[in-house]
Amino acid sequence: MDIIINSLYSNKDIFLRELISNASDALDKIRFLSLTDKEILGEGDNAKLDIQIKLDKEKKILSIRDRGIGMTKEDLIKNLGTIAKSGTSAFVEKMQTSGDLNLIGQFGVGFYSVYLVADYVEVISKHNDDKQYVWESKADGAFAISEDVWNEPLGRGTEIRLHLREEAGEYLEEAKLKELVKRYSEFINFPIYLWASKEVDVEVPADEDESSDEEETSDSSSSEEEVEDEDAEKKPKSKTVKETTYEWELLNDVKAIWLRNPKEVTEEEYTKFYQSLAKDFSEEKPLSWSHFTAEGDVEFKAVLFVPPKAPHDLYESYYNTKKSNLKLYVRRVFISDEFDELLPKYLNFLKGLVDSDTLPLNVSREMLQQHSSLKTIKKKLIRKALDMIRKIAEEDPDESNDKDKKDVEKSSDDDEKKGQYAKFWNEFGKSIKLGIIEDASNRNRLAKLLRFESTKSGGKLASLDQYISRMKPGQKDIFYITGSSKEQLEKSPFLERLTKKNYEVIFFTDPVDEYLMQYLMDYEDKKFQNVSKEGLKLGKDSKYKDLKESFKDLTKWWKSALASENVDDVKISVLLSDTPCVVVTSKYGWSANMERIMQSQTL
């Protein structure tokens, strides 16, 4: 709270989109429940699923009200009163390093942004299962909750009253609020209204005398029309005056971007849609997106995004969370954003939305989770996702081999796409590797997306396809070596002979690579060979047989001298050039690097 209150953060505007996003979430929840229980919405105004913004200039109060699910007393304590929420510490940490409050919504503490503009906040809430309560806090570390006996009954939902700070007066201007809603909340799926003033022309009767005159003239015959008109101008029957009235003005047109034709949606619209979907309002554009309609047995529309940055906790608890970031809609009704069945875990970094016409609307979440169509949806989503990622590489001028690009005219897009894949790889490369490990049916597609440095990549990233295109005639295997850093590996004696003979060797330096290579056996009919393991062959070497023969006694002696426990075998090798001997891992054993990883339990 201190961080927020004392923040000199200039973009205080963000509080509004956080409140609107919360209101929208609350409306989604009640709408979902109403699918299986129609009574739940109630009648009249209560059933209207909208968001209302009101200003009180005199009292300096800005209020935002929704007819969403509301909060019980317990909810108020749990959701608004507990600072020790899981996202808090992560958020505080992030704030201390980046100072960018803009990301607050991603940490599950967006509500507290109200204190950027208000010094006192009241939350009035009514949940169907409880009485109406008021939560209030001055952000001094304390809050109070009491049964609401003062305000009008809400029926259902939540009203947030912000008592604005002196310097936050601009949020009492209608124009400012309209602009903010336009800018930040364009893709909210519920109508947002502002109680807006309007200057209207009102006809009021003119002076008595004149009007009676008028009446007389109007009684005259039609033949005197012209005269009559002149007369009327001079002596009007009534006059117009300006008067201020108030009415609910709709600020957004509730449009589902995913239902539109992709050709008609602009890049800017996709970016904004991504921001509101992912609560990612950083300046960066998503790295890529894919908007498509699936037809056939299972029909659905989807928009997928590759975010510009990995979320702070993407791999933190990879193996025990099941968090997917896709929102599932059925016929435009939001169902859930916790559907693990839509994407495999390794694609959790994608953001997006799926709207299906095939899934049933009036069943429980649990039933839906079992629905047979989900398998088909998942399969198609994976394909599309991998295509989308492949496209980032294809469009990146840094990626293609120079010879392919020579004739192609440099497009203006090029600069923008340059380096995008390296960026992707930096943020999400590990996910691709986890995919290779976990998803056997897409292993080859995923392997195409793999990038690494090698003895020939010149400090850049290379792909397996590039590796293959550079293979020496007669080379059958793809060579790699694993270790903790490229610098360490470059000095490895295992490379001596290979580099001398101009073979390319891939450096795998991420702990996950050891696991990866247990699953990635081959690519395009080429086998992978760890050069630090037994069994490496570099074509025929005529000297080998003779050497083996002449050193037979020495190898035998070494074998007995080193004794059995630690060493399986001692052999003559033609793979070294400067180093006299190396310790090699047996073909099916753990590499030295793997031993190191297991000892430190890095993964």
Which residue ranges make up the site for Mg ion (CB under 5 A)?
22, 110
Pick 111 or 339: Cβ nearer ligand ADP: 111
Task: Tell me if 71 contacts ligand ADP by CB under 6 A.
Answer: yes
- Nearest CB to Mg ion, comparing residues 22 and 454: 22
Describe the chain by its helix, strand, coil percentages, rounded to 5: 45, 20, 35
Torsion of CA 221, 227, 229, 235, to 10 degrees: -100
- The annotation status of 108 as a binding-site residue, yes or no, is yes
DSSP codes, 472-507 = PTT--EEEEEE-S-HHHHHT-GGGHHHHHTT--EEE
The least CB distance from residue 79 to ligand ADP, in Å, is 3
Among 22-30, 209-217, 342-350, 496-504, which window interacts with ligand ADP (CB under 6 A)? 22-30
d(CA 422, CA 461) in angstroms, rounded, equals 7
- The contact mask relative to ligand ADP for 138-177 (x = CB under 6 A, - = no) is --------------------x-------------------
Nearer to ligand ADP, 22 or 431 (CB): 22
Q: Does 311 bind ligand ADP (CB under 6 A)?
A: no
Minimum CB separation of residue 364 from ligand ADP in Å reads: 21
Question: Cβ closer to ligand ADP: 75 or 396?
Answer: 75
In 3D, which of 478, 476, 475 has the Cα closest to residue 463? 478
In the list Mg ion, ligand ADP, none, the entry touching 52 (Cβ below 5 to 8 angstroms by class) is none
Q: How far is the CB of 174 from Mg ion (least distance, A)?
A: 24
Q: If binding is defined by CB under 6 A, does position 276 make contact with ligand ADP?
A: no
Instruction: Tell me if 114 sits within 8 A of 80, measured CB to CB.
Output: no
Q: Is 261 annotated as a binding residue?
A: no
Please name which of 422, 419, 498 lies closest in space to residue 453, comparing C-alpha atoms: 422
Q: Cα separation of 31 and 99, whole Å?
A: 37
Q: Choose among Mg ion, ligand ADP, none what residue 79 binds, the Cβ cut-off being 5 to 8 Å by kind.
A: ligand ADP
Region of 65-73, 182-190, 377-385, 530-538 interacting with ligand ADP (CB under 6 A): 65-73
Question: Cα separation of 116 and 84, whole Å?
Answer: 20
Counting contacts by CB under 6 A, is residue 23 touching ligand ADP?
A: yes
Beta bridge partners of 463: 451
Kindly state the smallest distance separating residue 114's Cβ from Mg ion, in Å.
11
In the complex, what is the shortest distance from the CB of residue 104 to ligand ADP, in angstroms, rounded to a whole number?
A: 8
Is residue 197 annotated as involved in ligand binding? no
3-class secondary structure, 119: strand
**Are residues 533 and 569 in contact, defined by beta-carbon separation less than 8 angstroms?**
no
Residue 316 C-beta: closest distance to Mg ion, Å: 21
- Does position 277 interact with ligand ADP (CB under 6 A)? The reply is no
From candidates 32, 91, 111, 143, binder to ligand ADP by CB under 6 A: 111
Can you tell me the distance from the alpha carbon of 486 to that of 491, in angstroms, rounded to the nearest whole number? 9
Question: How many angstroms separate the CA atoms of 512 and 514, rounded?
Answer: 5
Contact between 376 and 464 (Cβ < 8 Å) = no
Q: Flag whether 18 is marked binding.
A: yes
Residue from the set 79, 211, 271, 499 that interacts with ligand ADP by CB under 6 A: 79
Q: Is 30 in the site for ligand ADP (CB under 6 A)?
A: no
- Listed as own residue / partner, the contacts of 374-378 with beta carbons closer than 8 Å and 24 or more positions apart are 374/341, 374/342, 376/297, 376/298, 377/294, 377/298, 377/300, 377/342, 378/341, 378/342, 378/343, 378/344
How many of the chain's residues bind ligand ADP (CB under 6 A)?
A: 16
Out of 15, 17, 20, 22, which residue is the one contacting ligand ADP (CB under 6 A)? 22
Please report whether residue 495 would count as binding ligand ADP according to CB under 6 A.
Answer: no
Q: Are 510 and 430 in contact (CB under 8 A)?
A: yes
Quote the CA–CA distance of 265 and 270 in Å, as a whole number.
7
Give backbone dihedrals phi and psi of 403, rounded to 5 degrees, phi first. -65, -30
Instruction: Pick from 41, 49, 109, 495 the residue near ligand ADP by CB under 6 A.
Output: 109
Q: Is the Cβ of residue 159 or residue 510 nearer to Mg ion in the bound state? A: 159
Among 28, 66, 477, 504, binds ligand ADP (CB under 6 A): 66
CA atoms within 13 Å, Cβ hemisphere of 338: 5
Distance from the Cα of residue 465 to its chain's centroid: 30
292 is in an annotated binding site: no
Give binding residues for ATP as ranges: 18, 22, 66, 71, 79, 85-87, 106-111, 158, 365
Query: Which residues contact ligand ADP by CB under 6 A?
Result: 18, 22-23, 25-26, 66, 68-69, 71, 79-80, 108-111, 158
Give binding residues as ranges: 18, 22, 66, 71, 79, 85-87, 106-111, 158, 365
